[in-house]
Amino acid sequence: MADLQNPDLCIIGAGALGIGLALRARRLGANVMLVDRGAEEPGDPAQGRLVATAFATSASRAQLMHDARPFGLAPAEPKPSFKAIGERARALAASTAPRDAASRLTALGIDCRAGQPIFTGRQTFKLGETTIRAGHIILATGARPVIPTIPGLDEATYFTPDTIAANSRKLTHLVVIGSDASAIELAQAHRRLGAAVTLVPQGDILPGFDREQVAILLRQLTQEGLEIAEGASVTRIVPRRQGTGVDLTHADGSDHSLDASHLLISMGRIPDFDGLVLDRAKVRFDKARPGFLQLNTDGRTSNSRIHAVGGAAGQGQSHASARYGAAIVDRLFGNGSSRPDPALIPLLLQTEPGLATIGLVEGERPLPAGTLVLRASFAENDMARALGQTHGAAKLIAGGKGQILGASIIGPGAGEAIAMLALAMDRAMPAQGLADLVLPHPSFAAILSQLGEAFLAARQPGAWQKRSQALRKLLG
């Protein structure tokens, strides 16, 4: 007789996101089942971000060795061992793996299962011989890299952001095709570790970020030796006995060919629903975006019992996925009823300098009347000056009454500073309040105080302020 299970919540996908949501739902008292599909969720392995960060850190150290002369130190040409770099990253991941192990999750009350789920109805799916009928289902299945249709690519060997971490050899000339966050981050890291790197964006570079600040980043990457073929498109891949030919067509119509030792394809992701048979669950796909689900603002599919989050919902950044997923769990099993405001969730690029943005972006659309656009430079930040990282600036978009409408930062500590601004926006702190922040000195975050001071300097005093100032002058 087939086994029947009835959990309150079933999460399909045991990547970092799925594990985090299972723990959250369990803390709220839900009976939770977590389904591991038998392989790492694409784009969301349990320790994947730690591995990527460890690799980027090694690249950063190599760059510091190369750029030591301004600090009174003899520069040294780094001699990276990709094998040792990979071993360090894997060791760090292994040290945190027990935190996400099925045995620990089971001890915390989560029912961990493994296998390929196959939907059989609106609330039911088969897992081997077991039928699962869950009160609610969350798809946290990750998203696989998009592989473009380029003549010759199917005959070539190439990396994706999911496979390049396993590489243990120095790359002579890496051609990166794509312009998403992973493309830029990996291109910089491999250049710093000694590879010649050419980036072919195949379209707009980093859409959604401030264009002025993107230009600053690209200039810095170029100074580090990264070749960027802006406006060019890859027209053909030509596999060779040694290396690979990459044919380009530039915006002016001219042609160019590159000799690559390796290729990296990083052109975004598409949800991975392989084997689920979602049509049996009456889950509809978005006709305008083939491969993506039809979702409402709550992440709910056309089946009210099934939600999608993270890569399954087309969400590209892990912190955003975690926020949206937490809101779903809280609505289902907690007291949460509010929806995350997309304007309060920042975008972040973990390069050096870092690039981050939140809310309105200058130049994306006309700003409301009376809006102020304020700037502060890292060249005036003592910590940035001491570390020689003055290439960058912060930009604040504020309404006439001081409401913070958006911000963009390129420079050291961009991620931490944008997180503080996200909190300020969520708490409705006015721009002038930034001037009163008590911040350590020196610190990168002090640039927020500069923005607050800039607002106070730019704001015209109102009639009452003018009368008050005149009265104090008479009495003084």
- Write out pLDDT tens, residues 124-149: 999 999 999 999 999 999 999 999 99
Work out whether the CA dihedral 272, 53, 169, 236 comes out positive or negative: positive
Amino acid at 256: H
> Which pLDDT does position 215 carry in this prediction?
95
Determine which of 191-195, 332-336, 343-347, 411-415 has the lowest per-residue pLDDT on average: 332-336
Of all residues in the chain, what percent carry a pLDDT higher than 90? Answer: 84
List, in order, residues 6 or more apart from 127 with CB less than 8 Å away: 35, 113, 115, 116, 117, 118
Identify the band that residue 465 occupies on the pLDDT scale cut at 50, 70 and 90: low
Which DSSP string corresponds to 164-214? GGG--S--SEEEEE--SHHHHHHHHHHHHTT-EEEEE-SS-SSTTS-HHHH
Angle formed at CA 352 by CA 234 and CA 42, multiple of 5 degrees:
55
| Cβ proximity of 422 and 224 under 8 Å | no
For residues 361 and 198, give the distance between their C-alpha atoms in angstroms, rounded to a whole number. 28
Closest CA to 117 of 309, 333, 306, 304: 306
- What tokens appear for 335 in the block? 């007291």
> Which pLDDT does position 62 carry in this prediction?
95
N residues, the chain: 476
Q: Tell me: pLDDT of 471 over 80.
A: no
Mean pLDDT score of the chain: 92
| Cβ proximity of 413 and 354 under 8 Å | yes
Average pLDDT for 353-381: 93
> Which pLDDT does position 412 carry in this prediction?
94
Q: Tell me: pLDDT of 337 over 90.
A: no
For residues 255 and 228, give the distance between their C-alpha atoms in angstroms, rounded to a whole number. 15
| Cβ proximity of 256 and 236 under 8 Å | no
Identify the band that residue 363 occupies on the pLDDT scale cut at 50, 70 and 90: confident
For residues 20 and 196, give the distance between their C-alpha atoms in angstroms, rounded to a whole number. 38
> Which pLDDT does position 335 carry in this prediction?
79
User: What is the pairing mode between strands 262-265 and 173-177?
Assistant: parallel
| Cβ proximity of 141 and 14 under 8 Å | no
Average pLDDT for 412-421: 95
> Which pLDDT does position 463 carry in this prediction?
55
pTM of the predicted protein model = 0.92
Average pLDDT for 248-260: 92
Average pLDDT for 6-31: 96
Closest CA to 17 of 313, 405, 403: 313
- Please give the order of strands across the beta sheet that includes 233-239: 233-239, 244-249, 255-260
Which run of H or of E encompasses 48?
helix 48-66
Amino acid at 52: A
Q: Tell me: pLDDT of 450 over 60.
A: yes
Of all residues in the chain, what percent carry a pLDDT higher than 70? Answer: 96
Q: Tell me: pLDDT of 91 over 90.
A: yes
For residue 442, say if its preceding peptide bond is cis, omega within 30 degrees of 0.
yes
> Which pLDDT does position 243 carry in this prediction?
85
Q: Tell me: pLDDT of 1 over 50.
A: no
